Amino acid sequence: MRLSLSFIAAATLCYTVLAQQSTQKLVSPASISGSLTGLKYTNVGATGTYNQVTNLIPGTFPTCDVNPFCITQPKQISGNLAPFNEEMTFNFRGPLNLFNIAVYQPSGTNATSWTQTSSWVAGQAPNNLVFMNNFGGDKSGEFSICGGNSQSFANGAWTDATTAANAEIANGFLDESHEINIMTAQTCADSPCDGFARGTANHGWADSKMLVVTFNMPPSSDPSKVPAIWSLNAQVVRSAEYGCNCRGEGSPGGCGELDILETLVGADPNQGTSEIYSVKGATGSGTNNFFARPTTDKVTYAAIFDVQTDSIAIQHLTTWDYSQTSVTRDVIDGYLNAPALEVSFAKGARRRDVVGGHRRL
């Protein structure tokens, strides 16, 4: 069959328009070294095992001497994006102003569009998104002297727990002494969660997902309290984010952590780095590459976890229309293929020398 020149021209124009639409929100000019506008991790998926928590036995005060108290068993993983294809939660540490959050997911690996599954606007009630923190006790979740705090529903100021999910509307300011994380509205009581869960426990976002977030990171009054945005395997927070959990570096730990933009204690306070951890080990943006910390102006970033291409991309966007309920695969591919510092998360990868500001156990 012979195609007319007009048809070919029209098809070319259509392709060009789609390509432009897929990258039109990217910051320009792009920078792939020094102060970055984009970073892409390739070869993310791992084959191996991590120690999945199956129970936490705190013991009795004052001895708290149960041994072992953190009960685990090996969990085998393999395939594209593993273990980041498992449910993930997104975490935030202040000082931070959050203005908008949205999560998009495809209906399947080869879906032609990604649908907005969760969203929030500062000062409004979220949609399929719950703000949580680690103040489990009398208001929500659980607490024991030996076992510590479970997850809890965060209050509107993000400084304490409250009695129910999103019982108080959040204005979006997170002070430098606190952390929060977000989960979906589905609880582990509604549908069983993978691994051990206690107290207040919700599901995260599994398989492919894209987080879009608009924020800034005001200056810290205390240099030891610096802001960060990162993502954890949801199992970590459902057991104990800073205690008995499956995160770590290499085997047998390493159920998955991505530092999206983290300011480091003792480093330049105006620079944020990225690092990825799993059973493979760890790697990241390196000593000389960073994302500029947005201390005053609002910025928008997208973090795309893509099973199809076995990659994770972080891109600085100029803007985002949070009212859009779906984005095409062309848009996702545009961000995945946009200029970025490319870091291969190959087997045997090793972490850089600097450890991030938040505690990692």
One-letter identity of residue 350: R
Distance CA 359, CA 355 (A): 9
The DSSP 8-state label assigned to residue 200 in this structure reads: S
The C-alpha angle with vertex 337 and arms to 334 and 340, in degrees rounded to 5, equals 120
pLDDT digits (tens, 9 = 90+) for 201-242: 999 999 999 999 999 999 999 999 999 999 999 999 999 999
What's the pTM value of the predicted model, to 2 decimals?
Answer: 0.91
Using pLDDT thresholds of 50, 70 and 90, give the confidence band for residue 359.
very low
Token pair for residue 19?
């390509």
Q: Is residue 16 one of the residues assigned to a domain?
A: no
Q: Is residue 13 one of the residues assigned to a domain?
A: no
Domain containing 158 equals 22-344
Distance CA 59, CA 70 (A): 11
CB-CB neighbours of 211 under 10 Å: 22
Distance CA 89, CA 206 (A): 9
Q: Is residue 70 one of the residues assigned to a domain?
A: yes
Provide the sign of the torsion angle of the four alpha carbons 274, 177, 359, 247, taken in this order.
Answer: negative
pLDDT digits (tens, 9 = 90+) for 46-86: 999 999 999 999 989 999 988 899 999 999 999 999 999 99
Token pair for residue 24?
């039109």
Three-state secondary structure call for residue 203:
coil
DSSP notation for 249-292: SSSS--S-EEEEEEEPTTS-TTEEEEEEEETTEEEES-SS-BEE
Q: Is residue 4 one of the residues assigned to a domain?
A: no
Distance CA 361, CA 340 (A): 30
Name the least confident of 236-240, 252-256, 355-359: 355-359
Q: Is residue 162 one of the residues assigned to a domain?
A: yes
Using pLDDT thresholds of 50, 70 and 90, give the confidence band for residue 313.
very high
Q: Is residue 170 one of the residues assigned to a domain?
A: yes
Token pair for residue 5?
């020149």
The predicted structure's pLDDT at residue 287: 87
Q: Is residue 361 one of the residues assigned to a domain?
A: no
Q: Structurally, how many domains does the chain consist of?
A: 1
pLDDT digits (tens, 9 = 90+) for 131-149: 999 999 999 999 999 999 9
Report percent pLDDT > 70 for the chain: 89
Q: Are 282 and 346 in contact (CB under 8 A)?
A: no
CB-CB neighbours of 12 under 10 Å: 10
The predicted structure's pLDDT at residue 251: 77
Q: Is residue 356 one of the residues assigned to a domain?
A: no
